[in-house]
Structure 1
Amino acid sequence: MTSSTKGSAAIMITDRSFPALHPRPAQGWVNDPNGIQQVDGRWHLFFQYNPDSARHANITWGHVSSTDLVRWDEHPIALRPQAGGPDAAGCFSGVGAVVDGAPTVIYSGIVGHDGFSTVVVERGSADALGWEQTGHVAAGLPSDPRVTMVRDPFLFEVGGLRWALQGASLSGEEPALLLYGADDIDAWEEHGVFLTESDVEGLPSCDGWECPQLVRVGDDWILMVSIWDNGGGFGSRPRVGYVVGSLEIGEAGLPVFSGRAAGSVDLGSSFYAPQAVQAEDPERVLVWGWAQETRPQEESDAAGWSGLLTFPRELRVHGDEIELAPARELEALRAGSADPASLPDQAEVVLAGSGAAALRLGGDVVWEGEIDGEARILIDGSIVEVHLTGGATYTERAYPVGDAAYSVSPVDGVRVEAYVLALA
């Protein structure tokens, strides 16, 4: 049985699939992580949220916060669609920042479901708990007539200036990123196309790029894009690509990104629309993603909820490849030893050595792969996050029912340790 907090009332959850450690409201639809920012030592995490059903509709921004990335407080909805406003049909993806001392969110406001959006900027109270919407538009629709989809603003700094990207599609068939000058957060300057599919190698072909992220890790810049297939929608296999490269100010005075290697951010079946944010430590970048459901929509409807956000992950670079490792704070969840052959619904498994390994739920394989070094498997109800040290990450979903339990069988050459995970 899991306790979830909605407003001031504690709601007891008996659904074993519902996460006990990943924050989300007790009911409704959750997708992209949004607006992440640190204010006075507290992390504020927003997310797209439909409180009324387990389906993607009437999107607001839910809001949770934490001082330690482990214990989360739920707050009232931060943003709602404004009748007659630039977000009348929904408050979609965007980022957060503290601008001139004020907590600020920058997001896609939509008035229809045609792929177009404008950039809306709103400011919060000093503690980031109160949000009064004004409907201020910082960037309207692009002037380029080839743009057939635009959304998901992202801010970055280089050359002492603040810039912004938006995901886009050109003529409905070529993914692209659009560049803006955003030194004035309330009035962006349009600079046209930043990148297209032809400028980078190694990313899957698609109709458009969503949720662009461009962050610095050490001497490298990492670009992440979510691969959007217009015909696939939410039912297609989630795909997020990355490009490792460099960023500098070019002769025209605009940022220029040069990629050298590309790959997939997460190889699992349930990961999309990540958001990356710089921590107070300039060498540390944290990443959250949306863990989509893999069960039929009708089962989510019956359960009354759909979607959740991953645990926070630390973004690391190894040469031409990236690694997403569990945030170091998550080790505080270890509450004692567990039996690898019969794990609780909230557990961690650490595998070390060299050889094959598999995680099962009852008789079904949830994940299997080769271990060469160490792997950490984090389980919370229906979400399974597998991290191979120095290597790939897999986000999977599995739905425990009846007396079925998660298990990892010992394998030759691989040592197994297991822990119960719980909030202290």
Structure 2
Amino acid sequence: MSWLQTLKDYAEQHPIVVLRFGSDEWESLSNSRRGVGEFTVALPHALVSGVKAPAPCLLLGKDGEAEQVLFGLVSSRSPITTLDSRIKVTRSVVVAPSSVAGLSALICDAPHAKNFSSRVKDEQAVSLLSPKLSSYLIKRLATISSNNGSLRAVAEKLSVPKRFKGNTAMQEDAVQTALAAFGLGSSDQATSVELAEGRSTALGRVAIMEDSVVEHDARSVPGYSLIQSDVTGRALFKKGEDQLEVFTANRRELEHCFGVDLIYVNLTKQNVVMLQYKMLEPSSKSDDQTDWVYRPDGQLDAEIARMNAFAAAHPPGPKEYRLNPQVFYMKFVKRDASIGDGGIITPLDHFEKVRADPSFKGPKKGLRLSFKSLSGRYLRQTPFLDLVRCGYIGAHAQTTADLQVLIEAILDGNKAVVAAVQKKVGD
């Protein structure tokens, strides 16, 4: 498990922080907006002076007489007053054993056991484990299979890509785009997360509710039998009367795929839209300014043929209105640009006009695609998501039956898929 080694190595540089709470504090945290899964707390500077945020943490609390142990992440530490620091804890999930005594019994190596006992016996509000003990404790927690989802959620959060450098970053952006289309942000919590063992996915980095992440090898998604073996993760979000099911799928390892596509199906508005990510490469100009160029690869024509065939078979229904019935959109992002900077979004039919226009020709058979070259004729992320949300763009989608066909075609092209299905709760 590569994520486990990554987490162990990280804990040796940023040791585990043990935060202990009294019954009243724990009850207050449990009843807060995000519960004990995500919260902030003010602590004296002296207590947290050794904390290197972000750092893994153990939360020790009591629900009545019952002890609880959670594993999470101290994501930040910052001064807020002359005397106190603000600690933010995220991604905290219940782990086993559920008591200090149980943790002590789990640490079977004598030197580590003595070390652990000495650091938690005084019941201080904050304790810092040694680097070696931190790594060892994570190793021992991972021997309990039910803990792996919780541990992996923290490990994945520590490796969130910040810039567009490849498919991992594109998948991250696609998941966040799907959440934004549903009206959620990156900190909104999923009601459940399922991660396929040994398969990388951005869904390991979404916010989770307490005791809601599971790692398993089933990789099954009800209703999507054709792609069971390709699913790498699945997450469920709820908002009011609607729910959003997001899953990721790819046949090859993510870094070896030819790209990433996002498919968003809104069954409440009966529309389906697909966003295909394309990377823009820098091309220096003579005046030392940077031009941005997209170089179509050999897969593009085959992809466009598949997209046009699917769109032709799924026109809007007779009582539906669309500003544009186009299913397929392209999102062009600059290599090494920060994720969240947006990008240029164009419908497929607009892209084909640009591709045929000699004024867009760039070096080495590339296409110059920039805010300047398009002269304002493009979509930014926010208006694009508004159109998706209200059902003004996309083809007819009454059920998810045709989604399987589209996903299968994408996977056959050795691409990665992020699929999101919005529907009423209980449908």
TM over 0.5: no
Larger radius of gyration: 2
Q: TM-score, normalised by structure 2?
A: 0.28
Normalized per residue, which structure has more strand?
Answer: 1
Higher relative contact order (CA 8 A, sep 6+): 2
Normalized per residue, which structure has more helix?
Answer: 2
Q: TM-score, normalised by structure 1?
A: 0.29
